């Protein structure tokens, strides 16, 4: 009898507070992309706070805003900013760990292709060869506070900035006790807590070959998911397509056999840097990296030949009910 009463009480309790509330969503433009944060009404103040944090980071890290600290660095000035120094030190470390596949000093090459100013062009091989002499994380000098770049070196935080911004949003949500929120900073997702009905956030992964379709969806709670794909920013010239993820080894858009890479892990910055790096590496090297890299992460690779390769951790969060086309799914493990 006691147990029945307790069960009844629990049921009533669940009924009274379990009714899902209508989610709010806040949209804004920052870091050259449309950002959307979904939350409940009670958490709107915290979300506005996170939005101001992201605007602050945009003003610090933008390559196209003359007054930013990154622009000052790229003009050859010495910059004293501990946050920027920490970010660039981490970027240099990730450059080394990824064998140079992720390299923020690829900046002059990104600009030569016109991706910085959105004035696309195909640079000559001579131009690329000359610019590549300034690429390499060794060109970043920092003592933890003050940063200086070597002569001719410049940095582009486009491959890491939104991920770092999602970490800052996560910190604000935590500090302000937000119960659940979904931050979509372009292709950089942070799923905080759960939806108001207690279920995990669901994040669909786009089909890189069909903009209106999905290859599947991830169920996420307190996790970051970042997708990099050549389809996100590209131009066509002479019947060829050129996209914005540059292989620092060649100076050309990476042609690694991958169409998109999604990385899932506990840190936005890492997920962002790795999604770019693994796209450059291609399937075989990406799998090797997954098996050997010291920090845990999961990934979903969509290959140019239409396969969807998931690590075991990603497969555990994955469902294909949103997939309208049929795909060949493969799961790989750590060994």
Q: Shortest CA distance to 112 belongs to which of 129, 126, 125, 128?
A: 128
173 binds, among ligand ADP, Mg ion, none (CB under 5 to 8 A by kind): none
332 vs 101, 208, 256, 257, 259, CA distance in Å?
22, 21, 19, 18, 18
- Of the pair 100, 216, the CB lying nearest ligand ADP is at 100
Kindly tell me which residue out of 61, 87, 155, 280 binds ligand ADP, with binding defined by CB under 6 A.
280
Please check whether residue 327 is in contact with residue 306, taking contact to mean a CB–CB distance below 8 angstroms. yes
Q: Considering the complex, state which of residue 40 and residue 275 has its C-beta at the smaller distance from Mg ion.
A: 275
Residue 272 in the binding site for Mg ion (CB under 5 A)? yes
- Which residue lies nearer to Mg ion by CB, 46 or 274? 274
Least Å from the CB of residue 160 to ligand ADP: 7
Interface of this chain with Mg ion, residues 2 to 21, rule: CB under 5 A = none
Q: Under the criterion CB under 6 A, does residue 268 sit at the interface with ligand ADP?
A: no
In terms of CB distance, is 62 or 275 closer to Mg ion? Answer: 275
Q: How many residues bind ligand ADP (CB under 6 A)?
A: 23
Residues 155-184, one symbol each (x = binds Mg ion by CB under 5 A, - = not), give: ----x-------------------------
Q: Which residue is nearest to ligand ADP (CB)?
A: 158
Minimum CB distance to Mg ion, residue 171 (Å): 20
| Integer Cα distance of 108 and 128 in angstroms | 9
Identify residues 295-314 at the interface with Mg ion (CB under 5 A).
Answer: none
| Number of residues located near Mg ion, criterion CB under 5 A | 4
**CB under 5 to 8 A by kind: which of ligand ADP, Mg ion, none does 281 bind?**
none
Angle at 71 between CA 55 and CA 169, to 5 degrees: 25
Stretch of 22-30, 138-146, 271-279, 284-292 contacting ligand ADP, by CB under 6 A: 271-279
Among 149, 245, 287, 314, binds ligand ADP (CB under 6 A): 245
Backbone phi, psi, residue 261, to 5°: -130, 130
Cβ proximity to Mg ion: between 47 and 269 the closer is 269
Interface with ligand ADP, residue 190, by CB under 6 A: no
Per CB under 6 A, contacts with ligand ADP among 40-79 are none
Cα angle for residues 58, 59, 63 (degrees, 5° grid): 80
Distance set, CA 2 to CA 9, 11, 12, 16, 228 (Å)? 11, 14, 15, 21, 55
Residues that bind Mg ion in the complex, under the rule CB under 5 A: 159, 272, 275-276
Residues that bind ligand ADP in the complex, under the rule CB under 6 A: 102-104, 106, 110, 115, 156, 158-159, 162, 186-187, 228, 232-233, 244-246, 248, 272, 275-276, 280
């Amino acid at each position: 009898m006691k147990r029945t009463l307790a069960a009844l009480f629990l049921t009533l309790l669940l009924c009274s507070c379990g009714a899902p509330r209508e989610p709010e969503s806040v949209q804004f433009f920052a870091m050259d992309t449309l950002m959307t944060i979904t939350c409940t009404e009670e958490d709107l103040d915290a979300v506005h706070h996170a939005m101001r944090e992201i605007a602050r980071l945009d003003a610090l890290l933008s390559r196209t805003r003359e007054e930013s600290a990154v622009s000052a660095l790229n003009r050859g000035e010495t910059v004293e900013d501990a946050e920027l120094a920490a970010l660039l030190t981490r970027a240099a470390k990730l450059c080394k760990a990824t064998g140079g596949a992720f390299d923020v000093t690829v900046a002059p090459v990104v600009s030569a292709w016109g991706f910085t100013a959105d004035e696309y062009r195909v640079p000559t091989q001579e131009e690329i060869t000359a610019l590549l002499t300034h690429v390499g994380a060794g060109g970043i000098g920092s003592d933890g506070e003050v940063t200086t770049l070597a002569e001719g070196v410049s940095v582009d935080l486009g491959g890491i900035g939104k991920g770092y911004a999602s970490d800052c949003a996560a910190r604000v949500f935590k500090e302000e006790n937000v119960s659940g929120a979904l931050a979509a900073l372009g292709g950089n997702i942070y799923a905080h807590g759960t939806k108001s009905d207690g279920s995990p956030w669901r994040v669909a992964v786009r089909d890189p070959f069909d903009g209106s379709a999905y290859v599947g969806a991830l169920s996420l709670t307190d996790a970051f998911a970042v997708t990099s794909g050549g389809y996100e920013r590209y131009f066509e010239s002479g019947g060829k397509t050129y996209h914005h993820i540059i292989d620092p080894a060649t100076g050309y858009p990476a042609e690694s056999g991958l169409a998109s890479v999604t990385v899932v892990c506990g840190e936005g910055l890492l997920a962002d840097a790795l999604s770019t790096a693994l796209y450059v590496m291609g399937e075989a090297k990406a799998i090797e990296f997954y098996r050997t890299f010291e920090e845990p992460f999961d990934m979903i690779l969509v290959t140019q030949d239409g396969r969807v390769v998931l690590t075991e951790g990603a497969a555990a969060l994955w469902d294909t009910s949103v997939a309208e086309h049929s795909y060949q799914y493969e799961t790989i493990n750590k060994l």
